[in-house]
Amino acid sequence: MERIPRSQEDKLMWDFYSITYEAFWFMFNILFLPFIAVATALFYFKTRLEGGESLQDLLERFEKEDLTQSKWQQKMKMKLGSLGR
């Protein structure tokens, strides 16, 4: 078996650590960040509710801000609104 020079051993070890580090953060991003995002959104809505604002008021506010709708978007919004009632 041929011995690998010290500098190549260090490079291989560094590459191993680098790949392991990147794999860890990749898995962390996939597994935990969605839970963190959902928890943040729930906390946001809960604080709005505790402040006395209903979710219906919040939705109406967001709908008012959506001023630039094309005709097909307006038609779809009316159709979807009529289906729910």
Please write the tens of the pLDDT for every residue from 15-42.
899 999 999 999 999 999 999 999 999 9
Cα distance between residue 46 and residue 73, in whole Å: 30
Cα distance between residue 22 and residue 43, in whole Å: 30
Contact at 8 Å (CB) between 45 and 55?
Answer: yes
Would you say residue 68 has pLDDT above 80?
Answer: no
Cα distance between residue 38 and residue 29, in whole Å: 14
Give the pLDDT of residue 53: 84
Cα distance between residue 14 and residue 24, in whole Å: 15
Cα distance between residue 58 and residue 44, in whole Å: 12
Tokens encoding 40: 């943040």
* Predicted TM-score of the model (pTM): 0.51
Which one of 48-52, 60-64, 70-74 scores highest in mean pLDDT?
48-52
